[in-house]
Amino acid sequence: MPLMDRFLPSIKGVLEHVEILSRKRGKTANPPRVATIYRDELILNMVTLCFFLTIHSVVPYLSQYAVEIGATEAAVALLGPFFALSALTVRPLSGILADRGWTKRLLAIGAATSAAAQAIYFIAPGPELLYVGRLIQGAAVALFIPASFQAASIGSRETVISSLAWRSTVIGVSFALGPAIGGYVVTHLGYRALFIFSTAMALSASVLSLMINSAKLSRPVVSIDSDEKSLGFMSAGFITALASLLLYSSVYASMTLFLPAYHKEAGLGASYIAIFFTGIAVSSLVSRITFTYVLRVISVEGTAILGMILLSMGYILVSTDPLSHSILYYGIIAGIGSGLAIPSLQIMAITGVPQRRRGTASAIYTAMFDLGNMTGPIMVASIAKTYRDMIGISSYASLVALMPIALLQILRLKRSLNK
């Protein structure tokens, strides 16, 4: 019951958001058309929830599973790069296809491909086949996420900010539920039962995406926003968001690989790391729900800076004693920070790009996740030789992710003072 109490405000907010949109658009669209669009938006949120449950229920435990089937520290560090390699290769094509009206098909194919990756994990006898699964999973994410971004980035700046905020909330729900469900399944039923669950979620996302009306995903832009006149891919906001996301994802990929592996090496069970990641996820969800209210007080860039400061503080505190029970509280701080920082970076990146190119923009933006996954763990593992040292380096590296946004704000302040 307490878990439901956490999610009821977000559900209520979604319904209020739909009602507001209905009032705004009711004058220009006939009722059946409006009803179809909102039905499809609800299905799109369900598709997003199922797809990200597939990801978030497995990621915290994949490195532990790799250790169990014989992976060394170096082998665990390669799980992220194999994922990123295929994702980086596929994302550009996915973004272009999303801009050309392939959104629905990309959602369905991406989710089905993710199901195939879970099946590979299930049959893997050793780390080698896990790498194959990671390659397939990377392709699945590269197909799905740009299409999902493109579907949420149609409309004026205010509409896009609201859509991205609610999409971020749905992802936050999956981020909160995923580690908890995954930890419970692993503890009581084992790793292969977890892969059966994640396969079912991926297949559900694929089937649901086929129920979406294609017109919802490719409806024309009825007016040209001021962002059409912007610099697009060369805007300061877009470039800053790319740099910060790259650095953040490098840190996050390293922490999600090396912290669970360190716990496994120390003999701690999966339930402990499950509580840690669930704490991060729930606190992230709470801050994502309040995100639009924070924007009324602080700018998008200011919110991103605040989020990065909290995130860095949480990770650095975790690194002081990674096996301590206190990391559960430090994880909450990091979760609040990520819940503010990630939606802010999304808005900084997407709203500065013309609508007709936002599928490509989302592909470029989300590719930073892949590049961070590919480079972060390898760089950290090349510097440190033990899981404990890898965690320490990763946590302090989170401060670097703050620098691009801080530099952008300093330059803007200097420019305004000169004027």
Tell me the pLDDT tens digit for each residue of 42-82. 888 899 999 999 999 998 888 888 888 888 878 888 887 88
Query: How large is the average pLDDT for residues 190-217?
Result: 87
CATH number at residue 299: 1.20.1250.20
Least confident of 50-54, 325-329, 363-367: 363-367
Structure tokens of 343?
Answer: 């939606």
Residue 203 has pLDDT above 90, yes or no: yes
Between the alpha carbon of residue 311 and those of residues 1, 177, 278, the distances in Å are: 28, 20, 15
Sign of CA dihedral 196, 199, 204, 207: negative
Whole-number percent of the chain with pLDDT over 90: 31
Query: How large is the average pLDDT for residues 166-195?
Result: 87
Least confident of 31-40, 144-153, 323-332: 31-40
Least confident of 27-41, 87-101, 324-338: 27-41
415: buried, middle or exposed (CB in 10 Å: 19+, 13-18, 0-12)?
exposed
What is the spatial distance between Cα 83 and Cα 218, in angstroms, rounded to a whole number? 29
Report the SS3 class of residue 190.
coil
pTM of this structure: 0.69
What mean pLDDT value characterizes the chain? 81
Maximum C-alpha span of the chain: 65
What is the spatial distance between Cα 293 and Cα 270, in angstroms, rounded to a whole number? 36
71-122 per-position pLDDT tens digit: 887 888 888 788 888 888 888 888 888 878 788 899 999 999 999 999 999 9
Q: What are phi and psi of 395, to 5 degrees?
A: -65, -45
Between the alpha carbon of residue 164 and those of residues 51, 95, 103, 156, 340, the distances in Å are: 17, 17, 16, 12, 13
Rounded to 5°, the CA angle 66-106-10 comes to 75
Least confident of 217-226, 271-280, 285-294, 330-339: 217-226
Higher pLDDT, 222 or 356: 356
Q: Which domain holds residue 135?
A: 2-418
Q: How many domains is the chain partitioned into structurally?
A: 1
Amino acid at 139: A
Whole-number percent of the chain with pLDDT over 70: 83
Report the SS3 class of residue 142.
helix
Structure tokens of 330?
Answer: 């430090």
| CA-based nearest residue to 98, from 216, 218, 207 | 218
What is the spatial distance between Cα 301 and Cα 328, in angstroms, rounded to a whole number? 28
The pLDDT value recorded for residue 222 is 40
Structure tokens of 209?
Answer: 């995406």
The pLDDT value recorded for residue 371 is 85
222: buried, middle or exposed (CB in 10 Å: 19+, 13-18, 0-12)?
exposed
What is the spatial distance between Cα 171 and Cα 85, in angstroms, rounded to a whole number? 23
Residue 334 has pLDDT above 90, yes or no: yes
What is the spatial distance between Cα 52 and Cα 373, in angstroms, rounded to a whole number? 17
Task: Place 175 in a pLDDT band, splitting at 50, 70 and 90.
Answer: confident
The pLDDT value recorded for residue 354 is 73
Task: Place 251 in a pLDDT band, splitting at 50, 70 and 90.
Answer: very high
